[in-house]
Structure 1
């Protein structure tokens, strides 16, 4: 008897996506600390999945898993789903939508046995994951516990359930790690993963899920701390080679380039990210739409639903982080051409933003 995932996939529900190339991970293979990926037409993956099920959830191709598919971006007119309001204060996707480069909204589709190796989410963002159908098992570790799950070379474990972690020579601190929080996620349930919680996830059945990475004023300081730590790590690794590098190019510029290649963002892009969020909030507070019908776009409607006090809070958080950045020595070393605006002028603009009714002025100290 077909399960809900099979009924959904093998019906005509996704006819419009047949020829769409989708990213497919091979869960049966390891590449560094992840699974190797390939691109294949969606209909080819569906055919593979049919055969995989018919063969007792086995295939010479391995266990394949559609991961990180930007379905919403590929088919914006289909309005496949709406983000729950609890997760709608989403600066990360707001920014990437604005610059029209990327997004962090994904659909995952995988057969029973597919899984995701141990990791923490991009930029130390939050994530939420909604099971449309199927069941998942989550193993989650609080921030800091991942340090006990590194091998003797400092590499993070690929699979925290693997017997090799019992080898004290390879994983000398494994016994100090706490037991993971284990959660079984049923169909129709949404799980929220806080910033910095490393996790490993299994599909216990054929499963379809929606997953977003997201950031906002409540975990912005964690992202900023993460970026500082990443830059420090790059500096430690590279400084011993400093004398062999081309002195015509600033070593500090090199640090930023390498950090961006590793994490996906550098200090200049982070500053632009904050500017985008601040500009959107100031525009919203200045226009003060009286009802949703007066909102110009989806972002305004989202800000309206959250309310002006929320927008004012967002500005306070941007102000707080920008003030920290301006006192940061590495940020001071940025080439001015790396920024499309003057941070000091933006700070003044934020401080002068009109307060929301019932809120303290934006320039009031953050607590």
Structure 2
């Protein structure tokens, strides 16, 4: 038998069934809900993760977090402590005043220099200095021993970071610290891989502007380019943005200190810091949105193939498209297959050998949850190996019957 602490297990009590069309427009399924941190995992899973619905979680999310006790003083960033402890690190900083293509221009600077700038910027009431925002700092990767937060149980089933944290060939993950002064912001976007995201304010407050899947089409110009700032007056120009008046659903919310926000797959969003703010953010994928990730991967390959269609007769064109896909999307078909098989084999090993699957935050997967993961993974794997683009690639031709064998092993647990 698996011997685990029952309070640390995340489990699904009953089979999950679809409660709504997560892409439905202009319905109450597109409204941001508020829930408390005492909601049962099974209820949160069905209502928000499987239903792809946004929500704010209030309550004891940051209770006992090291970042709250050590990084914050009198409700504001504890600049001297953070600088003394981590000041020698190079961190990625975006200039909120400088647009670079459709994002903000970034550079790496020393954290101690950024913290000095931040205090100076705040003391001068944001007048004559550029607005700089520390974003996407892989803090947990840089300081794995620090344990500055515990992943909330609702977000613990995280295939993406489970996979990248286990990889030795590259040093990467999708777990971040954000720090920025009042007025720093992030332009309109949807998250990498069409993933979920969660964010918790360690201190400060954020304003979020959310758009359900499909609404972003109304925020594109006549060339299909997404607007940089969803509040820009130029959206009213019908010649530039012919579909803006069709926009029928958006949500604006304020996230307070200590609250967690869940952003579902495909929801475009824009974010502002209303005060000096520090937050913990993850991008993540699991059994609820793995099909969405697969669909997004296919769509991005289609866009790549269309872009380089005039080179279609070149030798190795399919493989070349995969290289471009990797650069643009962050993953190609071979990497996606590696991702699926890693998750599948890890869960099969757990069932075969009664081995624990320990997740971020010291949470453990229950058996029903493991079976759900395998069922969702199997569905994607079946469509993946039947896909004509998959079958044209050299890596797949050399797999023999490995994918079919994995599917067969999964099906053994559903007889």
TM-score (norm 1): 0.88
Q: Does 1:258 align with 2:328?
A: no
Q: What SS is found at the alignment partner of 1:79?
A: coil
Partner Cα distance (1:338, 1:299) in 2? 35
Partner Cα distance (1:282, 1:337) in 2? 22
| Equivalence map 1:212-231=2 (5 Å) | 212-231=282-301
- Which aligned runs of 4 or more in structure 1 are off by greater than 3 angstroms? 3-7, 295-302, 337-341
Q: What is residue 106 of structure 2 aligned with on the other side?
A: 37
| Equivalence map 1:87-236=2 (5 Å) | 87-100=155-168, 101=170, 102-236=172-306
**How far apart are 1:300 and its partner, in Å?**
11
Structure 2, unmatched stretches of 5+, are: 1-71
Match for 1:329 among 378, 388, 396?
Answer: 388
Question: Which stretch shifts more, 87-96 or 336-345?
Answer: 336-345
Partner Cα distance (1:29, 1:6) in 2? 30
Partner Cα distance (2:233, 2:108) in 1? 32
Structure 1, unmatched stretches of 5+, are: 290-294, 356-360
Partner Cα distance (2:390, 2:154) in 1? 33
* RMSD (CA atoms): 2.0
Match for 1:320 among 379, 391, 394?
Answer: 379
Higher relative contact order (CA 8 A, sep 6+): 2
The count of corresponding residues between Structure 1 and Structure 2 is 341
Q: What is residue 367 of structure 2 aligned with on the other side?
A: 308
**How far apart are 1:299 and its partner, in Å?**
6.7
Q: What is residue 358 of structure 1 aligned with on the other side?
A: none
Q: What is residue 41 of structure 2 aligned with on the other side?
A: none
Partner Cα distance (2:398, 2:250) in 1? 42
**How far apart are 1:328 and its partner, in Å?**
0.7
Partner Cα distance (1:306, 1:171) in 2? 46
| Equivalence map 1:278-289=2 (5 Å) | 278-289=344-355
Partner Cα distance (1:50, 1:90) in 2? 35
Match for 2:408 among 339, 343, 348?
Answer: 348
Partner Cα distance (2:321, 2:74) in 1? 45
Partner Cα distance (1:151, 1:298) in 2? 42
Partner Cα distance (2:236, 2:92) in 1? 33
Q: Does 1:28 align with 2:97?
A: yes
Contact 2:188–2:270, Cα closer than 8 Å, also in 1: yes
